[in-house]
Amino acid sequence: MEDAYARSATEVLDFFGVDPKRGLSDTQVSQHARLYGQNVLPEEKRASFWKLVLKQFDDLLVKILIVAAIVSFVLALINGDTGLTAFLEPSVILTILAANAAVGVITETNAEKALEELRAYQADNATVLRNGCFSILPATELVPGDIVEVAVGCKIPADMRMIEMLSNQLRVDQAILTGESCSVEKDLESTTATNAVYQDKTNILFSGTVVVAGRARAVVVRVGTQTAMGGIRDSMLQTEDEVTPLKKKLDEFGTFLAKVIAGICVLVWIVNIGHFRDPAHGGFLRGAIHYFKIAVALAVAAIPEGLPAVVTTCLALGTKRMARLNAIVRSLPSVETLGCTTVICSDKTGTLTTNMMSASKVCVLHTVQHIPVISEYSVSGTTFAPEGTIFDSTGNQLEFPAQLPCLLHIAMASALCNESVLQYNPDKGSYEKIGESTEVALRVLAEKIGLPGYDSMPSSLNLLSKHERASYCNHYWENQLKKISVADFTRDRKMMSVLCSRSQLQIMFCKGAPESIISRCTNILCNNDGSAIPLTANIRAELESRFHSFAGKETLRCLALAFKRMPMDVPTLSHNDEKDLTFIGLVGMLDPPREEVKNAMLSCMTAGIRVIVVTGDNKSTAESLCRKIGAFDHFVDLAGHSYTATEFEELPALQKTIALQRMALFTRVEPSHKRMLVEALQHQNEVVAMTGDGVNDAPALKKADIGIAMGSGTAVAKSASDMVLADDNFATIVAAVAEGRAIYNNTKQFIRYMISSNIGEVVCIFVAAVLGIPDTLAPVQLLWVNLVTDGLPATAIGFNKQDSDVMKAKPRKVNEAVVTGWLFFRYLVIGAYVGLATVAGFIWWFLYSDTGPKLPYMELINSDTCGMRETTYPCSIFSDRHPSTVSMTVLVVVEMFNALNNLSENQSLLVIPPWSNLWLVGSIIITMILHVLILYVHPLSVLFSVTPLSWAEWTVVLYLSFPVIIIDEVLKFFSRNSSGVRLNFQLRRRDRLPRKELRDK
C-alpha cells in the first residue's frame, strides 16, 4: 500500500480486510503471502571468483604488457635463448600483474558485504495478532495486513501503519533511516503533507527502526523489498561503482601509450631495414628478426611496467599513514580520489556534531528589585562524559555551582524526574546512554553541578573511578529522595512529574515544554537567596522572551523545570496536582558541533573544497549549527544557499543547476535525496565525497566518488564506504585530502621519471639508427635497465614527503590530464638529453677513449661496410663490449640523477634535498651496487654482454650524466615562474597526452 500514511487507520484496515480485534486468518495469511511476497531481503548472486580475477586484467595497459611479455618470450625461444635471458622480462611483468590482480579481487570482495550487513537490521521476531490470539512469530512470516504490537526496545519488523496507542506516547529512534538526532514521536493521525518525506510520515513505523518509549499496535503495510529498508537495498544494487579519477587518467595514458608503442615498433624496424643484410646478422631474415627484437625491447622499454605496482605501493603507503590519523581505508584507489575532491557532502548528526545531546545554557531568576533580573549560565562539555564546568554571563567559572539555590534545585529535578541511565563502558572507553538523549543530558548536567556542602566540590568527584563517576551525583539524589509515584509524559500535558519523599517532606518535581510548565506556575525560585516569590506578568514575559531566544536564535531544545511541596498523605500523583508550581529554571540543550570542525571547514575552503551539510533535521536547527561551524561565514544572505529537499525538488531545472553550484545546506532529506544530490553534482563534473553513518546513507556512500563512513556508524554504512573515520571526526578528512593530493603528486613524479627515462632509451636507439652507428645497447641490456635499475628508484618515489603548499592549491580539474603540455615538454627535454648522453658515451669510446681505437667519425658511421674494404683496424673492434658498457652505464647513472629530480615536481633540490627521502637514496645505492655486480662478476658480465670499466671511463660517465640535474633545475625554475605558466598555456592546445572526456551525463 503506497499511501498508507495519507489514509485513516480504518481505511488501511479495510484495504487489507483485517479485523483489528482478531487479526488475519490463516487463509488470509496464505493469500497475502502469495500476493505480496516474503518479509525478507533476498541475497544477491555474487560474481564468481574467476570472473573477479579476469576483471582485473580488463585494462588496456595490462593487456599491452601481457602481449609484450608473450612476444618477447616467443622471440627469445626463436632465437635460441634459454634460461634467464628468455624468462627474465616475462616473469617480472607477469608477477607484477598477478600481485595487482590479487589486491583488486580482495577489494571487490569486501565491497559486496554491504548488502549482507543490511539484513542485520531486520527484526528477528514480532508479536502478531492472528485468529484472535497474540503469538510471537519469526518476522520473516509477516504479511501485509498483520496486526503487530510493539513496545520499548522492539525493532520494527516491517513498515507499519499505527492503528492504536497503548500508552501516553510512542517514540521511535529512526536515525539509521533519516539521520534525525532525536527520537520521533508517532501518532495515529493521517498525514496531509504533499510530497511527504519519511520525517512527515508520523503515523508510519519503519522497518529496522527502534521503539524507545511507549507501546502501540500497527498494521503491516509493506514487507521485504517494498519497505524503506528494502528501498535502500534496491538503491545500492542500482548503484554502479564510480571509476576513480586516477584510474580514468591511467586508462587514457594506456591508450596513448598503445599508439606510441605501435609507432615505435614500426619506425625502429623500418629505419633499420637497410641493416638487415649486415654480415654480422648472418642473413636478411636473421637481421629482420634481430631488429624486430630491438623494436619489441624498445616497446617494452616505453611501457612503465612498474606503474600498476608503484601506484598500488603509493596507495598502500598512504593508507598506512592515514590509519595513524584514524582514517581506515577500505578501497585503495579512494586515497587518491580524496586528493581531487571538489565537494564534500557531510552528514550533520554524528559527523559535524558529537551526536550527544548536552545542556549548554541554563536560565534562572536571580532576584527581583525594581525589575526582574534574569541570570544565564553556560555549560561546557559536549559529550555524555560528566566532565565540564559552569560559567556565569561574564565568563567566570563557578567554583561551587551547587551552592546557588536554583542550580541546586535544577540538579535535583534533573536527577529525579528522569528515566534514563548513564553508564561507563570500559571496553569502548566512553560513557553511554540508555534512554532519551534529552534525559541523559539532564543527568550529565546534574553531575556537572555537583553536590552541596563540600568545600572540595566539585574537584573531589574527579578522584572517583569512571564507573562510579558516571552517575555519582544522580545516585546521591535518588538515595536522598525516594520516588513514590510518576506521572508519565503525555502529548496533551507535555510534561512529566515525579513524587519524592524524604523524612517528613514530600516534593514533586516536574519537567516539560516551557510553555506548559510556565502556565502552571504561580511562584518562582530566586537564585540569590533561595526564596520563592510570586510569578508576576513581568517575570513571566521575561522568561518567555528568554525561551524564544533559546529556541529561535540559538535553536536550543528547551525544557523547563519546576517543583511543588506536597502534603504527606498523597500516595500517588494525579494531573490535578500539576498546578501552583514553583518555577526553577530553563535548560537549553543541543547536539553540539565538534570542536575541530570549524578549523576543518576553514581548511576545506582554503583548499578550494566546498562543503554541503546534508541532514534529516529541520532547517532552522541545521542553519544554526552551520553558523557555529563557519559553513556560512562567507555568505551575507542564506537565500540560495540553504534548501529543504522539498524546496529543491520544486525548483525549475535551470534554477536547480544554479542551486547545486551555490548550495551549502540541504535539510529534511531522505535516502533517495542524498543519492540524487551526489548524482546531480557528478553530472556537473564535481568529484564528490559523501560522509555518513546511518543505513540511510549507504546508497549515497556507494554512489559517491568516495564514501566516508563513521567508525561509530552502522555496519551497512561501513561496508558501502571506501573509507571509515575511526574517530568520527570531520577534521580527519582534511588530513586525508592532503594525503590523497600527495599520493597523486608522487604518482605523477613516478610517471615523469619513467617516461623521461623511457624516452631517453627510445631516443638512444633511434638516433643510433639514424646516424648509422652500431647498436648502442643490446636488447638484454635494455631489459636490465628497464626492469631492474628503473624499478627500485621508481617505487621509492612513492615515499616522497608532501609539498608544504599541498593544501593551498585548488583541487585539480576533473578533465585535467595526468601530464599537461608543459610537463610533457619537460619529459621530452630530459628524455632527449638522456638518449643523447647515452649515444655520446658510445661515440666517445670509439673516438676519444685511451683504451679505444680512436677512429675518425666517418669510419664509425660506415662500420657496416668494414668487411668490404681495407681498414687500418680489425672489424672485430665493433664487437667490443666496452662502448655498449659505457652507454649502458651512462643510461643507468643519468637515470639515478633523474630520480633525484623527481623528489618534487617544481621544488629545487636546494629546497627539498635528497635526504628528505632516504628510501630513494637507498634505492639508488642498491641499484648502483647491482649494476657494479653485473660489470665485475664474470658470469653476469657475460650474460649481459658488458665488461669492467676503468676509472677514466667512470669519470666520463659522471660528466655525461650530471648535467641532467642542471637542466631540470632550469625547467623547474620556469615552472615556478610566469614563463612556465605561459608556455603551459601555449602548449595546452597541442597537449600530446589525451585529455579526459566529460563525464557521461
Q: What is the pLDDT of residues 594-621, one digit of tens each?
A: 878 888 888 888 888 899 998 887 788 7
The predicted model gives 391-416 an average pLDDT of 92
Q: What is the DSSP string of 156-215?
A: P-SEEEEEEE-SS-EEEE-HHHH--SS-EEE-SSPP--TT--GGG-TTEEPTT-EEEE-E
Q: Which of 146, 278, 347, 617 is catalytic?
A: 347
What's the pLDDT score for residue 766? 77
For range 762-779, the mean pLDDT: 78
Q: How many CB atoms lie within 10 A of CB 371?
A: 10
pLDDT bin (cut points 50, 70, 90) of residue 636 is: low
Residue 375 vs residue 125, higher pLDDT: 375
563-586 mean pLDDT:
90
pLDDT(653) > 60 = yes
**Percentage of the residues of the chain whose pLDDT score is greater than 70:** 79
- Annotation says 347 is catalytic: yes
Instruction: Provide mean pLDDT across the span 658-682.
Output: 88
Asked whether the predicted pLDDT for residue 989 surpasses 70, the reply is no
Q: Is the pLDDT of residue 702 over 50?
A: yes
Mean pLDDT in residue range 791-818: 74
pLDDT(494) > 50: yes
Residue 305 has what pLDDT?
58
CA distances from 41 to 120, 513, 697 (A): 10, 41, 18
- Judge whether residue 207 has pLDDT over 70: yes
* Residues 118/225, Cβ–Cβ less than 8 Å: no
- What is the chain's mean pLDDT, rounded? 80
CATH architecture of 1-238: Distorted Sandwich (2.70)
Q: SS3 of 724, please?
A: strand
562 to 201, 265, 410, 584, 812: CA distances (angstroms): 34, 90, 8, 5, 59
Confidence at residue 306, expressed as pLDDT on a 0 to 100 scale: 57
Q: Measured on CA atoms in the order 475, 481, 483, 486, is the torsion positive or negative?
A: negative
The pLDDT of residue 117: 45
Mean pLDDT throughout 511-530? 93
What is the CATH code for 327-353+594-728?
3.40.50.1000
Which range (3-7, 234-238, 471-475) has the least confidence? Answer: 234-238
Assign domain 248-316+737-979 to a CATH class.
Answer: mainly alpha
**Predicted confidence (pLDDT) at residue 629 exceeds the cutoff of 60:** yes
Residue 463 and residue 135: Cα distance in Å, rounded?
51
Pairing assessment for the beta strands 184-186 and 159-165 based on DSSP bridges = unpaired
Same-fold call for 248-316+737-979 versus 327-353+594-728:
no
As a whole-number percent, the residues of the chain with pLDDT over 90 amount to 23
Instruction: Report which listed range, 45-54, 188-197, 340-349, is most confident.
Output: 340-349
Listed range (103-117, 368-382, 546-560) with the worst mean pLDDT: 103-117
| pTM metric for this prediction | 0.64
**355: nearest Cα among 198, 567, 173:** 173
| Structural element, H or E, at residue 862 | none
What is the average per-residue pLDDT within 60-64?
64
The answer to whether the beta carbons of residues 902 and 914 sit under 8 Å apart is: no
- pLDDT higher than 80, residue 890: yes
| CATH classification number, 358-590, choose in 3.40.50.300, 3.30.565.10, 3.40.1110.10, 3.30.390.50 | 3.40.1110.10
pLDDT per residue as tens digits for the range 351-370:
788 778 899 999 999 888 76
Boundaries of every domain in the chain: 1-238, 248-316+737-979, 327-353+594-728, 358-590
Give me the pLDDT at residue 946, please: 87
Helix or strand or coil: residue 561? strand
